[in-house]
Chain A
Amino acid sequence: MKRALLILAVFATAVLGASAQTWYVTVAGLGGEPDYTQRFNADAQSLDKLFRQAAPADHVITLIGPAATRETLHQALGQVAAAAKPDDDFVLTLIGHGTYDGVEYKFNLPGPDVSAAELAAWCDRIAARRQLIVDTSSASGGALAALQSPRRAVVAATKSGTEKNATVFARYWAQALQDPSADLDKNQSISAAEAFAYAQRKVADFYTSQQRLATEHPQSSNGKLLASLTLVRFGQAQRAYADPAKRALLDQKEALESKIDALNYQKDALPDEEYKTQITALLLQLAKLQKEIDQ
């Protein structure tokens, strides 16, 4: 059963304790029809609410309705570019319709649209070393190539620019950030990769349950960055993250987890019993440490 996360949810990067900040820009594009306008605005407002629980108000910019123009978007990204530092993270979420003419992708806004190339150029000016662009629009697969960058992960609702029907991906992306079942590694935080896996599955389930041919096939790039980018923490993990006194314990935990990962890389080279003994010992240490962190 789906449960809403506690309002303690917080958005942050995976790097603990540093002064790293996360910047959020969310845009609800041109709906064209009242139904779409309402849906896009609702999804954007839902994300805005979550982001504002996680970050200072000046780190969250949400553009909805007539305010969501090419110019205001340009200004918003300029504002982030002026303030964000290299250690910061940046998340841009686009909700709406997109078009692709075979060469160029454009995100539909009141007035002039914005192209993927323009968006990439504006985001390139932001110093944040880890960026995530979530383009939930129709035809967003056509934007992927233009948006890609080594310091950027991109999530698109469609596999290519030719999937032109309105998408449902945004709804499930927002849901992923509120549903604990998206937390596959049970660490009480949801990474961009987990959110993507959740939304991808929900989209497929949606079309199956509606007995409709799927007209969107989400895709992502830069999986490593996607997996490392934590979007939400909750429960004890959130509290520990917020408690400077737990810093040392969390550092120990990170070191222990590195050892576990290293041992797993060697698993095939070790006799089964030896691996089992070693991994059990490490996991027991981790369990003990976790108790201390959670106290």
Chain B
Amino acid sequence: MTAVLALWLWGSGSAPQAPPPSAANCAALRLHDRSAAATACYQALAASPRLADQAEGDWGLGLYDQANTAFRAAAAQNDASAALRVRWGRLLHERFNDTDADGLFQEALQRDPKSADAYLGQALVSADGFDGKALESANRALELDPKLAEAHVLLATLALEDSDSAAAAREADAALAAQPDDLDAMAVHAAMGILANQPADAWLKRIAAVNPHYGQAQAAIARQLVLHRRYDEAVNYYRQAVTLDPELWSAHSELGVTLMRLGDDASSRQELEAAYDHDYRDAATVNSLRLLDSYKNFDVVRDGPVWLKLDKKESALLAPYFEKVVEHALQVYGAKYQMTLPVQPSGFAVQVEAYPNHDDFAVRSVGLPGLGALGVTLGDVVAMDSPSGRPPGDFNWASTLWHELDHVYVLTATHHLAPRWFAEGLAVHEETQANPEWGDRITPDVLVAIQANRLLPVAELDRGFMHPAYPNQVIVSYYQAGRICDYIQEKWGAPKLVEMVHDFAVPTTTPAVIQQALGITPAEFDTRFFAWLRQQLGAEPANFNQWRTTLKAMAAAPGPAAVIPLAEKARDLYPDYIYDANPYGYLAKAYLAQNDPEAARQALATYQKYGGHDPDLLRQLAKLEPPADAAATLDRINYIYPMDAETHRQLGDLWMQVHNTAGAVQEYTAVLDLHPLDRAGSEFHLAQAEYAAGNLDAAQDAVIASLVAAHDYRPAQDLLVKIMDAKKGKTP
């Protein structure tokens, strides 16, 4: 033991000044940039006969497996120790195992219900998962130990994520009062300044004075910038972090994920591989590397400044439809915001990526699977689910894309300073401005939240997105934010929303912009908005319980005669309900059973008007409509689920009937892009459309393709003769 301790000298003098080795002492050495001494300290701990010390020593030396083993043995020896379990849980939390970490914090609390450190551990785990419980657990920790600096830092970080600078400053100051050299608290202050476009040099100097190699401060700043969607700046800070501390593998990984978000795949891979090769293998690192590997399966379709990154299996099919939506959006938003998106050094002004595998999209967005969103805007890159990535009718991809493209403009125009509620609200609002059938209708979750008065004041609405306090609060917040923008447009006019975009282009707050742009206080705004919303919704929230009972009875009704009155009642109580078991589908079925196709058509047309997007119901509607209307209905399906060859073929036929040959060409081409079994027939249809459009060369190519697949195909043979006669100037 003496020999071991003799190796563990710290300080610059020749005389040993060895305090008793403890994890806290070792950590303090490391915090103060005394790396060699810290290493010696941890080595001494690792050599201790006490298992708990061994665990701490191994952990400090980066020997995580040994540390875990030692903690397990120590815990077996000392079943009563809460502190031991907290430390073990912290190790597991650091090494990407939050599930077991949380279990250990719970075990600790069973042994010591007043363990502030255990509550802090729980708070850290919750915060990693953006769980609203983080706040509750951190506050509980501080009730038990008001001087627990790390809990104050966590609260400060969470407040800053919610753009609540005042609370962030208060908590960071509390941390510094408890622990004056708390570098993480200083980093919160620095981040606050940077987010407000204010100089943060003073705080960064204070940090450097304590530890010139403390890259974690820059990494924490970068993390806040990412959460505020300021990705380019985040990359700069992550780079500073790894320059200060080249072995800060978590920062390498986060830098890699952020670079991937920005579309810099090569640099991203370099950083992620560096982290992975040094045993930093959290889910985000591993998933992101896998995703980068999968990019060989993607095409990049370039249409001027618009680049589409689409899976090779579906790029030919989807590209024309995506291009159409993006081009239209660029025209509309360009005029509205009076700006042209700048072309990036990479060559694009906007890149849209569509992922057939939802988990790939989630990894692309946040590094982890399980993301509930449909699309994410990462600067000038939009990543989203491909229409093939979700069941038919699950979402309207064009509406999602339109939403995300609004973000590209608003984030560019505001230098990424727009608060989340405003960016999301405006994007939701723009969906329905572009097409009244787009955008999300009010869902039962939202109705319940409104009934329970769970909408947030506008000044606090960001919290509903960042740290939801109840299930589906994010959905509720999207709805509320969208309706706020609807309200502003209705009461102050559309230019007011554009004015607010410009107001948010400098560091400011929501209350300040509400006051400045609308001339009323946020509280007054809330009062007026809630009154307007109640008026807009009419009786829908109050009808909710009755609607639910009626819908249930409708679903159980024995036949058309019983279904119709119940379905009509359910529809009238809550007409916006277009989701599973909606009354419109029941009505159509019942009317058809009663041989009343016109009533069925009307029911389904209303469903469509309310934004219904079940392709089966829309196809049913098309069958009941005259050709031009039917074509318009089937065309809508292209923006919901364009993966069905038969729908494209039917739409092609309808376009031919109404003499829209260009539309027919596009639809028959889509059929071919879906690799139909009947290739000859599909090529023939395309040839007919090209011929009708007067595109003789293209018609010839298609009919040749048809006849190569089916030499004896007599209609195609006849068409070839007609095409060649037409090319020679002969009249058919």
State the A residues within 8 Å of B (CB).
181, 184-188, 197, 201, 236-237, 257, 260, 264, 276, 279-280, 283-284, 286-287, 290, 294
Contact = CB atoms under 8 A, between A and B. Distances in A.
Contacts of B709: 184-185
Contact of A283 (B681, B714, B720): B720
B711 interface: yes
Given A260-B711, A264-B708, A283-B704, A185 B680 contact: yes
Given A257-B711, A279-B708, A184 B677 contact: yes
Contact of B710 (A187, A197, A280): A187
Contact of B711 (A187, A236, A276, A284): A187
A294 B712 CA distance: 11
Interface in B683-707: 700-701, 704, 707
Nearest to A201: B677
Contacts of B710: 184-187
B679 interface: yes
B704 A188 contact: no
B408 interface: no
Nearest to A263: B708
A283 B724 CA distance: 11
Given A186-B712, A188-B712, A290-B717, 4 more contacts: A185-B709, A283-B711, A287-B717, A290-B712
A97 B704 CA distance: 45
Nearest to A291: B717
A290 B714 contact: yes
B228 to A, nearest CB: 44
Given A280-B720, A286-B717, A181 B678 contact: yes
Contact of B680 (A184, A201, A283): A184
B683 to A, nearest CB: 11
B459 to A, nearest CB: 48
Interface string B660-686: 000000000000000001111100000
A284 B721 contact: yes
Given A184-B679, A184-B680, A286 B704 contact: no
Nearest to A188: B712
Contacts of A197: 677
A188 B714 CA distance: 10
Given A181-B678, A186-B680, A283 B712 contact: no
Contact of B704 (A201, A236, A276, A294): A276
A280 B724 contact: yes
Task: Enumerate the 4 nearest inter-chain pairs by beta-carbon distance, A residue then B residue, closest first.
Answer: A186-B713, A287-B717, A187-B712, A186-B710
A257 B708 CA distance: 10
A186 B716 contact: yes
Interface string B192-234: 0000000000000000000000000000000000000000000
B677 A283 contact: no
B700 to A, nearest CB: 7
Nearest to B712: A187
Contacts of A283: 704, 707, 711, 717, 720
A128 to B, nearest CB: 26
Contacts of A187: 710-713
9 contacts: A184-B679, A185-B710, A186-B714, A186-B716, A286-B711, A287-B718, A287-B720, A287-B721, A290-B714
A279 B709 CA distance: 13
A290 B711 CA distance: 10
A79 B383 CA distance: 67
Given A237-B712, A264-B708, A294-B714, A276 B700 contact: yes
Contacts of A287: 717-718, 720-721
B53 to A, nearest CB: 55
B715 to A, nearest CB: 8
Nearest to A187: B712
Most buried by A among B707, B709, B718: B707
A256 B674 CA distance: 31
Given A185-B711, A290-B712, A284 B724 contact: yes
A287 B681 CA distance: 17
Contact of B720 (A181, A185, A186, A284): A284
A63 B701 CA distance: 50
Contacts of A280: 700, 704, 720, 724
